[in-house]
Amino acid sequence: MPSDIDPTVWLTAPLAPEAIGPSKHDPSAWHYTNAVGINGIVSTGLLWACSTDGLNDSQEVQFGIGAFRRLWELVKPALIDEAPVAAVEEWLADIERRAAAREVLVVCASENGDSLLHWQTYARINDGYAIELSPTVEYKVFASEGQPALFQPDDVPAIFWRSVTYGDKDPEWGWEQWDPTRRMLEGALDAFGSLERGQIANEGFMRDLLDRQYVALVYAYKHEGFADEREKRLIVVRPPIDGFTADRDSHYGPSHKVFLAAVDEPDPERYTVDRIARLPILSVQLAPRNPEGDEERLRDLLDAAGYSGVPITRSRTPIR
């Protein structure tokens, strides 16, 4: 049963927790922030995931949904008569509606640890920090005292750093093997073809897994105008249970945030955790024009929070 239709799914162990996790071969995630942000992150050990309605991309979520739909419409006429077109069309219309209705929250980072674009946009040239986070660690929604422990529904992706895909994919120019839209579309066609041939024992479970793959794709899919950001993100689907989000004011109006904690012992069944593990901070880089003496202040902050071995560097970008 889809998790946005039946809230009790969040209180029941999943049939098959997500087997695909973070890769140790992925580049680091560099999270850009200002002095207030880094003070909060280091002192609490928590990251903030912010609702996509408070971000600067006005087409968040909708662009990914539309891009996959456009690809499907391009591919559909070329399929053989035996292809499960009607079944895929019905599934896609349903998951599009539900994916658009969910509240999605993200933590944004970049593969580039010294980006002038990010210093100017997401931090400040004279009051900015890029926190290098290991890509190999998974995160959970932090459940404070009194909040229920939630399981990860089968149709909700696990929370680890995922690379963003940019721009529409045109099959007339050929598909790259790594392209996630191709893999998703081929997977849906194969799954519904197997279902029609009587080769799927649990249809509900199959649909949950397809839903999980779809939302992980479209929630990390953006317009090509943002491609220079080289974004990585943690994706959170807001549970339909009160108490897990807090209000925040964004540049675009009232919004929400949720707190995420790193986990040192993976538990693929759980979506929440009630203890705070050490964040996997590998290094911190100062913005190009942070004042002299800021490194000493940051060193004291890191040492006091137990990050005494974390190196501090300064941006080499020669901006005045």
Read off the pLDDT of each residue in 47-66 and give the average, rounded to a whole number.
91
Alpha helices (H) along 76-226? 85-101, 116-121, 180-196, 203-218
The pLDDT-based confidence of 20 (bands split at 50, 70, 90) is: low
- Is the pLDDT assigned to residue 117 strictly greater than 60? yes
Please report the pLDDT score of residue 32 as a whole number: 96
For 232, residues 6+ apart whose C-beta sits below 8 A from its C-beta are 26, 27, 29, 108, 109, 110, 111, 135, 161, 162, 163, 164
The pLDDT-based confidence of 6 (bands split at 50, 70, 90) is: confident
Please report the pLDDT score of residue 172 as a whole number: 56
The mean pLDDT of the chain is 90
What's 43-86 look like in SS3? HHCEEEEEEHHHCCCCCCCHHHHHHHHHHHHHHHHHCCCCCCHH
pLDDT digits (tens, 9 = 90+) for 280-290: 999 999 999 99
Higher local confidence (pLDDT), 140 or 7: 140
Please report the pLDDT score of residue 19 as a whole number: 64
pLDDT digits (tens, 9 = 90+) for 220-234: 999 999 999 999 999
From residue 56, alpha-carbon distances to 34, 50, 60, 108 in Å are: 17, 12, 9, 12
The pLDDT-based confidence of 2 (bands split at 50, 70, 90) is: confident
Pairing outcome for strands 231-237 and 272-273: unpaired
Contact of 151 with 12, CB cutoff 8 Å: yes
- Is the pLDDT assigned to residue 275 strictly greater than 60? yes
Of the candidates 28, 157, 167, the one whose C-alpha atom is nearest the C-alpha of residue 105 is 157
Higher local confidence (pLDDT), 91 or 171: 91
Of the candidates 68, 46, 47, the one whose C-alpha atom is nearest the C-alpha of residue 216 is 68
**CA-CA distance, 309 to 207, in Å (whole number)?**
46
Please report the pLDDT score of residue 1 as a whole number: 60
Please report the pLDDT score of residue 203 as a whole number: 94
Please report the pLDDT score of residue 185 as a whole number: 93
Please report the pLDDT score of residue 170 as a whole number: 59
Please report the pLDDT score of residue 171 as a whole number: 55
Domain ranges of the chain: 7-314
Q: Is the dihedral of CA 172, 111, 108, 119 positive or negative?
A: negative
Share of the chain above pLDDT 90, in %: 67
Token pair in block for residue 133: 């986070």
- Is the pLDDT assigned to residue 178 strictly greater than 70? no
Please report the pLDDT score of residue 271 as a whole number: 95
Please report the pLDDT score of residue 14 as a whole number: 81
pLDDT digits (tens, 9 = 90+) for 189-217: 999 999 999 999 999 989 988 999 999 99
Please report the pLDDT score of residue 85 as a whole number: 97
